[in-house]
Amino acid sequence: MGNERVYNFSAGPSMLPLEVLERAGSEITNYQGSGMSVMEMSHRSKVFQKIFDDTQAKFRKLMNVPEGYKVLFLQGGASTQFSMAPLNLIGKTGKADYAVTGNFSNIAYKEAKKYGEINLAASSADKNHTYIPTQDQLKLDPEASYFYYCANNTIYGTEWQYVPETNGVPIVCDMSSDILSRPVDVSKYGIIFAGAQKNMAPAGLTVVIIKEELAGNELPYTPLMMNYKTMIDKDSMYNTPPCWCIYVLGLVLDWLESKGGIHGMEAIKHAKAQMLYDVIDNSKLFTCAVEPGSRSDMNVVFRTGNDELDAKFVKESVEAGFTNLKGHRSVGGMRASIYNAMPTEGVEKLCDFIKAFDQNH
């Protein structure tokens, strides 16, 4: 099993560790003697409650989540948080600051405008989102209810290398595409959220880490299911949670622990990304438009500058056993998404492929 698997560079849903898939497969019809699959269990059963509690505890430990914060397992994707964050937080002053550094933060920014006065604290649109603004470039309003940014821009291949200083204004951060890839000082944030399908689990689960004191100030028309308080009070079990995804997340967290936890993963992912950037920077043919210092370790974007050649690269890469290297339709070129589950070997092989293509063209 596993021999015929491809190196899948998809931006999401993306690769899961083979060990995790095999473990889930081995338990798929009868989870640890329960006589049923996790997919068939009541979410109120003792067996599932243990899976839930263990997964939450493992997540808290790996992310070093401090007291006073809740970890929620929600649905609706990361995109639902674009509405949920303003609905729950903006009531404080009616204002919020947004940094727009790509597609997803732009959607979040536009969505938030429905609920209050939104200040564009920074935008990298002037250079087609090829850089991350510096602290000096952030125009922060001390009266903002919160400051919002997206840690890793999945489409544009940029990643914030610092946590903005907001002088006490709570930070809301979309970490969908780089969560669990580097250490995070959770105490610097009000809310961290992430869709699971990039770096954690199958699609259908959204993990939210929320400073508890921020909940309970929602706008009056906030839907029940979009109120953080509803989910905090019922420990994410107001209704049926995404049980299967939570179970797989638990397996992924075990795998992560076996790789040295977050610090182990940080070293591995950084080495993988550096390998790719070095090959691109040293080639005649390929360039990465992202400014050094803003480059993402998760999504590496590159191109030849010639659309036909890019298409040829993508076509030949598929024949060579790599999939999903085509860049996002809004950007073009190529993109290699190299999340935690992408083996180093996959990146090494891609580097060899890029070098050979460079030499032959």
Ligand X SMILES: *Cc1c(COP(=O)(O)O)cnc(C)c1O
140: Cα separation from own chain's centroid: 25
260's CB contacts (< 8 A; 6+ apart) are 267
Picking from 321, 228, 336, the residue whose alpha carbon sits closest to that of residue 286 is 336
Please tell me the count of residues contacting ligand X according to CB under 6 A: 12
101 counts as binding ligand X under rule CB under 6 A: no
Q: Which stretch binds ligand X (CB under 6 A): 65-73, 77-85, 213-221, 316-324?
A: 77-85
In angstroms, the Cα distances linking 249 to 32, 36, 53, 87, 99 are 17, 19, 12, 28, 30
Which CB, 34 or 79, lies closer to ligand X? 79
Closest CB to ligand X among residues 79, 93: 79
Which of 12, 164, 190, 241 forms a contact with ligand X (CB under 6 A)? 12
DSSP assignment, residue 91?
G
Query: In the bound complex, what is the minimum distance in angstroms from residue 161's beta carbon to ligand X?
Result: 16
CA 242 – CA 211 distance, rounded (Å): 22
HSE-up of residue 34 (Cα within 13 Å, Cβ side)? 19
Nearer residue to ligand X within complex by CB, 77 or 332 = 77
**88 vs 304 by CB, closer to ligand X:** 88
Considering only residues 224 through 283, tell me which ones interact with ligand X, judged by CB under 6 A. Answer: none
* Whole-number Cα distances in Å, 324 to 14, 26, 292, 346, 355: 10, 28, 24, 13, 19
For position 343 contacting ligand X by CB under 6 A, the verdict is no
Segments of the chain assigned E as strands: 7-8, 69-74, 95-100, 117-123, 147-150, 152-153, 158-159, 171-174, 191-195, 206-211, 299-302, 322-323, 334-337
Residue type, 197: Q
Name which position in 86, 195, 327, 346 contacts ligand X (CB under 6 A). 195
The least distance separating ligand X from the CB of residue 74, rounded to whole angstroms, comes to: 11
What is the rounded distance in angstroms from the CA atom of residue 346 to the CA atom of residue 284? 22
CA atoms within 13 A on the CB side of 174: 32
Told to check if 200 binds ligand X by CB under 6 A, we report no
Q: Which stretch binds ligand X (CB under 6 A): 16-24, 45-53, 76-84, 110-118?
A: 76-84
112 binds ligand X (CB under 6 A): no
Cβ closer to ligand X: 104 or 115? 104
Site for ligand X in 135-194 (CB under 6 A): 150, 154, 174, 176-177
Q: Which of 11, 7, 2 has the alpha carbon at shortest distance from 299?
A: 11
Of the candidate spans 2-10, 74-82, 210-218, 263-271, the one that interacts with ligand X by CB under 6 A turns out to be 74-82
Query: Least distance to ligand X from the beta carbon of 269, Å?
Result: 16
Distance between CA 243 and CA 223 in Å, rounded?
22
Specify the residue, 130 or 304, whose C-beta has the smaller distance to ligand X.
130
* Residue choice 104, 131, 313, 339 for contact with ligand X (CB under 6 A): 104
The smaller minimum CB distance to ligand X, of residues 10 and 227, is found at 10
Cβ distance to ligand X smaller for residue 78 or 171: 78
State in angstroms the smallest separation of the CB of 120 from ligand X.
18
Interface residue with ligand X among 37, 49, 75, 79 (CB under 6 A) is 79
Neighbour tally for 163: CB within 10 Å? 15
Length of the chain measured in residues: 361
In the complex with ligand X, which residue's Cβ is closer, 177 or 304?
177
Q: Minimum distance from CB of 82 to ligand X (Å)? A: 8
Determine the number of helices (DSSP H) and then strands (DSSP E) in the chain: 9, 13
What are the residues binding ligand X (CB under 6 A)?
12, 77-79, 104, 150, 154, 174, 176-177, 195, 198
